[in-house]
Chain A
Amino acid sequence: MLNFSRWAIAAILLPLLIGVLCAVPSFLPDAAVAKLPGFMQTRVNLGLDLAGGSHLLLEASTQDVARQRLVNMEEQVRTELRRGDPRIAIGDISSRDGKLSFMVRDPAQVDAAVERIRPLTQGAGLTGQRDFNVEVVNSSTIVITPTDAGIDNAVKSAMEVATEVIRKRIDEMGTREPTIQQQGDNRIVVQVPGLQNPKALKDLLGQTAKLEFKLVDTTANPSEVAQGRAPVGSEVLPYPDNPSGVPVIAVKRQVMVSGEDLTDATQGYDQNNQAIVNIRFNGSGGRKFGQVTSQNVNRPFAIILDGRVLSAPNINEPILGGSAQISGNFTVESANQLAIALRSGKLPVALTVVEERTVGPGLGADSIRAGLIASIIAVVAVAAFMFVSYGRFGVYANIAVAINVLVILGVMGILGATLTLPGIAGFVLTIGTAVDANVLIYERIREERRRGRNVVQAIEHGYKEASRTIFEANVTHAIAGGIMLALGSGPVKGFAIVLLIGIATSVFTAVTFTRLLASRWVRAKRPTEITI
């Protein structure tokens, strides 16, 4: 038990050495770390509660995705049947309960209609799975129902796009090292360190930024519009800044140009020094815009963002250059934000902030300082206590604890784990429990001495008997830690990571490493009496 071969000694010391080395970069300033070779750049990340910053949990409404798809489907069906050849007349179009249903006017055309709709309902993938089911009810009504698989696929791809769009938007804001991750089926976690006021970020992520240009329906009866009724082919949209005072306006359903045809958007000023957004269309968007504005000179068109009309300027002359201005009731800040949102594309689904945690950098720094002071005092107090209780062996335990602390930091660096405030608590607790293993061993050695065993046997037995107990106690402790890691969120997770790493490393340092130290001493000095 006390004999270690050369190889065993190497096998014990090498991992400890690597662990300690990996902890070093965490204490160095940024510039020094940058000079180290890549494999040495293992630093412990500081959580937002220590570094300061914002954590946002965004949730996409899956119903919103489903509804969007149904609207698109309706548009496709209309185009295919009414405008296709031969024209199939349909009516009674309604989308309720997540289904789209419509009547084919001529019963003889029902089969032909189904034939033409089928291709639209095929999934995009090669799985052969349908995104929609098509049924004929009452021999003249066609019902299109989205399949679950279809909805799942749509949500999945919407979330992928949304994550990408959010990443672009945050990058445009110029923040450093944001973390953007999809969580679960319909959530995205955004973590931005070092942000003083998260309001701008939330505003930016909160807008879908779906931009559309539509013609204003000037034929609509103003009193009907005020009540929310629009003529066929038009719709009533909110218009909060309407100069006429009525907060709604009727616009044509058909989209002239949409935000998808944009190539660039920047904040600027108009001739009245009012903040605006300058936009530039791509080739086809510019042509479309030019064409429509040529045909509708002296008529107003509406600039619509996320279903709300920003402004409805008059077309004074055809706009042919492929660029245009979005005016509205902007401040410089909100115009800039819209420009960012438009540049990074629209979100395929609306996101809402369901959880936010922001910690100011001041508090974070306070927490680090407090955590550091507490850790140092804890280490010193525990070390002193161990020394007065176990003498030489107490010192061995203290060396083990010191190495353990560094190794935990090193392992966290290698794993890229994040140190949070509860993590510091886990750290301090690990210091406390790490010596428990040594206490178990040393008390056992004391017992064995009392029973009359000689020094070597007492030490051997102490380690052997205590090891089993230590193993069992730590396995159960690890069960609790594993459950925390699996189920916990935020602070619980941060705590569990440190706890689990600490359990693994402390068993190694407290048992194996101190045994090595004790055995070297016993072999060198061959003591017949020990103070323990």
Chain B
Amino acid sequence: MKLLKLVPDNTNIGFVAMRKWAFALTALLTVLAIGAVAHRGLNLGVDFVGGLMIEAKFPQAVETDRVRATIARLGVGESSLQQFGDPKTVQIRLPLPEQGGAGAANAVVEKTRNAMTAQFPGVTFSRYDTVSGKVSGELIQNGILAVVLAVVGIAIFSWLRYEWQFGVSTFVAIMHDVLMTLGFFAITQLEFDLNIVAAVLTIVGYSINDKMVIDDRIRENMRKYRKMDMKALIDLSVNETLPRTVMTSLTILLALGSLLLFGGHVLRGFTAAMMLGVVVGTYSSIYVSSSLLISLGLTPQASEKKASKAGLAAQAERVGPRDDGARP
């Protein structure tokens, strides 16, 4: 049987030679992403700004303008509407009443429900979320804290395991991934809610997974080929792991693609973020973290210093140049 090989054997792409261009592109995209977040802002969901969210399902397609007009007559504050997946499902967002606490929020929901039922017979309400300003503030805080801790924790891990250059390059690459994702949400104005924080954390996790594989290979090759030029060594490592990189990103994109198409509208933003993250994470493994290692002045000798610092155990673990089990 002839097996599928997406990356031909002995592929040798000069990734490192292209890194100046890649850096320029990365810098440009990063600036764009930051600009988009600063300028347009994120379309924060009720999880993060507080408020009321009602999801209404109509028996047939409905014009959002008519829904908006119905709600505007109630005087419950400015509504923001979003069609969700299919034209029959509309998500209505309302500000939380400033006074009166839970009772008042209840009243708003009731009022909206009644008015909608009168105007659009057969409408059903499949979801309500109410988040007070206090809780949403905590959710934002925890969300940011989680992302920052995850990035820093992982950077520290890879610094302790390897040389400091790996820690720094991983940190920069992951920040890049997070920024790209935020930029994507700022540009598309897809709703940014708690699910998306989970998506961002998963992107961080996936991206680090990817970088670890390449970093691990670089370190292995650094021990094997101590005299090799760092640029050639990184090219070799990236090319050696390229089949795996392609295979894995494709399988994950396959899984996510089916989730995007068939997983229902609630998860759509989440899945879109994840797919973007896989692409961005794969790119940054090659062009941000690996190429940055050269700029940070990593040399094969550095690996030896670290190894001797780490003591005898690390020495024992060290693999000589082609410790060949091939000899029978």
Contacts and interface: CB of A to CB of B under 8 A. Distances in A.
Given A367-B264, A429-B252, A492 B106 contact: no
A487 B146 CA distance: 6
Most chain A beta carbons < 10 A, residue from B55, B101, B145, B146 = B146
Nearest to A384: B254
Given A460-B325, A480-B153, A488-B201, 18 more contacts: A59-B134, A353-B130, A354-B131, A354-B134, A355-B131, A356-B128, A356-B130, A374-B258, A374-B264, A422-B267, A439-B248, A477-B205, A477-B209, A480-B154, A484-B146, A491-B195, A495-B198, A495-B202
Contacts of B139: 489
Contacts of A129: none
Contact of B209 (A354, A357, A433): A433
Interface stretch (B63-71, B239-247, B289-297): B239-247
Contact of A443 (B134, B142, B149, B243): B243
A391 B198 contact: no
Nearest to A199: B106
A390 B4 CA distance: 8
B288 interface: no
A188 to B, nearest CB: 13
A373 B263 CA distance: 7
A480 B105 CA distance: 36
B142 A491 contact: no
A85 interface: no
A457 B146 contact: no
Given A439-B244, A451-B326, A363 B126 contact: yes
B219 to A, nearest CB: 10
Interface in A338-391: 352-360, 362-363, 366-367, 369-371, 373-374, 377-378, 381-382, 385-386, 388-391
Interface stretch (A20-28, A253-261, A466-474, A514-522): A466-474
B208 interface: yes
Given A385-B251, A436-B248, A483-B149, A428 B256 contact: yes
A473 B105 CA distance: 46
A450 interface: yes
A469 B264 contact: no
Contact of A489 (B142, B150, B258): B142
A381 B146 contact: no
Given A363-B127, A487-B142, A203 B106 contact: yes
Interface in B121-139: 124-132, 134-135, 139
B110 interface: yes
B108 to A, nearest CB: 11
A492 B259 contact: no
Nearest to B278: A432
Contacts of A431: 255
A440 B249 CA distance: 12
A305 to B, nearest CB: 14
Minimum-distance CB pairs A-B, first 9: A370-B264, A480-B205, A363-B126, A432-B252, A432-B255, A353-B102, A377-B258, A374-B263, A356-B130
Most chain A beta carbons < 10 A, residue from B126, B217, B256 = B126
B222 to A, nearest CB: 15
B212 A381 contact: no
Given A429-B274, A480-B208, A488 B146 contact: yes
Interface residues of B, number: 82
A312 interface: no
A280 interface: no
B158 interface: yes
A473 B209 contact: yes
B109 interface: yes
A354 B248 contact: no
Nearest to A474: B209
B322 to A, nearest CB: 9
Contacts of B161: 472
A476 B208 contact: yes
B271 A425 contact: yes
Contacts of A429: 202, 252, 255-256, 274
A476 B89 CA distance: 39
A358 B127 contact: yes
B124 to A, nearest CB: 7
B-side interface mostly: helix
A202 interface: yes
Contacts of A443: 241, 243-244, 247
B194 interface: yes
A475 interface: yes
B273 to A, nearest CB: 10
A297 interface: no
A363 B132 contact: no
Contacts of A511: none
A355 B132 contact: yes
Contacts of B105: 353, 356
B18 interface: no
Contact of A479 (B131, B135, B154, B255): B154
Interface in B227-253: 240-241, 243-244, 247-248, 250-252
A460 B328 CA distance: 13
Contacts of A422: 195, 198, 267, 270
Contact of A483 (B127, B132, B146): B146
B78 interface: no
B251 A435 contact: yes
Contact of A354 (B132, B143, B210): B132
B326 to A, nearest CB: 5
Contacts of A206: 102-103
A203 to B, nearest CB: 7
A102 B218 CA distance: 77
Contacts of A447: 240
Most chain A beta carbons < 10 A, residue from B126, B198, B262 = B198
A49 B109 CA distance: 19
Contacts of A367: 264, 266
Contact of B198 (A352, A373, A428, A488): A488
B205 A421 contact: no
B37 interface: no
A477 B267 CA distance: 22
A432 B254 contact: yes
A363 B209 contact: no
A198 interface: yes
28 contacts: A49-B266, A57-B135, A199-B106, A354-B131, A355-B131, A366-B264, A370-B264, A370-B267, A371-B264, A374-B263, A381-B257, A382-B251, A422-B195, A435-B251, A443-B241, A473-B212, A473-B213, A476-B154, A476-B209, A479-B154, A479-B157, A480-B154, A480-B205, A480-B208, A488-B142, A488-B198, A488-B201, A495-B202
Most chain A beta carbons < 10 A, residue from B103, B127, B158 = B127
Most chain A beta carbons < 10 A, residue from B4, B250, B263 = B263
A481 interface: yes
Interface in A477-511: 477, 479-481, 483-484, 487-492, 495-496, 499
Contacts of B106: 199, 202-203
